[in-house]
Amino acid sequence: MILSNSVTRAFVAVLALLGTNTAAYPQTKQPIKSNAGNELVQPVYQALPLGSVKPQGWLKDQLEKSAAGLAGNLFNFYRYVKDSQWLGGDSEYSDLHESAGYWFNGLVPLAFGLDDARLKGQVKYFLDYILAHQQEDGWIGPETTPQTRGLWGRCYIMLGLMQYAQADASETDRIVDAMHQYVELVHSMLQDNFTGLVPKPDDVFDGSGWGPARAHEMHIPLQWLYENYPKNNSDLIWETMDLMIQGSTVFGVDWRTFFVQGTFPEVVYTPRDQEYSWLFTHGVNLAEAIRFPLAIYRTSHDESLKIQTRTAVDLVAKHHKSLAGTIIGDELITDLNPSKGAELCTSAELMFSLSWVYQYLADNDIADWVELTAFNAFPGQIWPDWWSHQYVQQENQPWARNLTEYPEMWEDVSSYGNVFGPAAP
């Protein structure tokens, strides 16, 4: 994780309150069903467009420190941004090709929220490059073969494009055009055995299933496009959302089956009659998945999914919420033992999810939870000058140092997990 991802999640959240089977699957190519006239469920509280609210006081101070710190300078030296394949370089930390997307989605709200010319220049450079290099078939990104083209790495690009279009009207038209070209391609890919989402044996873009587990991440930009700039593509956009969820279900990570009393794990190490994929117990996945039922509720109008969203919030809070407001999990959740720590990524994603859920459920305790995380867990994991952060933070930890002598401490975190640094160790 790079710090810019956390910046965007915190920024958007606070301002808003102000199973693995890679066999072949049945073909799904069908005529697009007409959804003309279909409306998305509307939130109780509408989010204000990026740039319409200006931070003040403590929040402004923290964001200015972020701009002067690591997040605002990654573009200058961090190879996974500066030399990313997205910008013609050759550096990526995984075949997901997600690093530049995380950075872009993070820096757009920071740049326009602060009206910072330097940061605006960075995101403008990135925007110009990726749109100028959009491929003829509509693909956004450096990948050229089906085996390397994974949809997950584009989710945060789409979120960043959505925010950019909101904040800068002069760029809206070309951004929207590019998004439509991309969505048309994605729709055709998903119709072909969920290509790009559900990995096949010869694919190299996602060997673990991150894309299917986070398929609903694409719903926010797609729903924004559907409501604001449909361009006679309403049916295609709607079906693309449906296909994303179908793909996650086929892969075996349908979160509607997990956020159920009696199925949801109170403690992960208790023997269970029915095993479930580790993707369900991954802390960051879990924080993001709180939005899964609600994303589908917006299109289906199925009230049970709205109720399940509340259930998801309550289950996570009761069994895995830390006193500081985040989800306890050293990559994977276990129980309420604070020595396991909690990822900074999880705090950021949790604030983003809960703030979005609050718009629809309007339950004040959800807003309170966002505030608890924003003023406790999140800033405690970041160095005061915003130049470094922890991978995991243990509440009341007596030190931040190499813990090699305690190999049993964590399940999937290095011995330097609670030490402050520029990236996850």
- Residue 423 is classified by DSSP as B
Crossing angle between the packed helical segments 3-17 and 70-77, to the nearest 10 degrees: 140
Sorting pLDDT into bands at 50, 70 and 90, what band is 26? very low
Three-state DSSP at 91 gives strand
For residues 214-241, average pLDDT: 97
Name the residue among 257, 236, 157, 245 with its Cα closest to residue 198: 245
What is the rounded distance in angstroms from the CA atom of residue 12 to the CA atom of residue 17? 9
pLDDT value of position 51: 87
Cβ-in-10-Å burial (0-12, 13-18, 19+) of 349 comes to: buried
The larger pLDDT score, comparing residue 360 to residue 4, is at 360
Q: Which residue has the higher pLDDT, 189 or 28?
A: 189
How sure is the predictor about 268, in pLDDT bands with cuts at 50, 70 and 90? Answer: confident
Sign of CA dihedral 179, 181, 182, 188: positive
Angle, nearest 10°, between helix axes 303-320 and 364-372? 40
Euclidean distance between CA atoms 172 and 157, whole angstroms: 15
Residue at token pair 């693995």: 20
Q: What is the torsional sign of CA 211, 10, 255, 222?
A: negative
pLDDT over 50 at 315, yes or no: yes
Higher pLDDT, 30 or 143: 143
Is this structure's pTM higher than 0.75? yes
Query: How wide is the angle at C-alpha 222 spanned by C-alphas 80 and 226, nearest 5°?
Result: 150
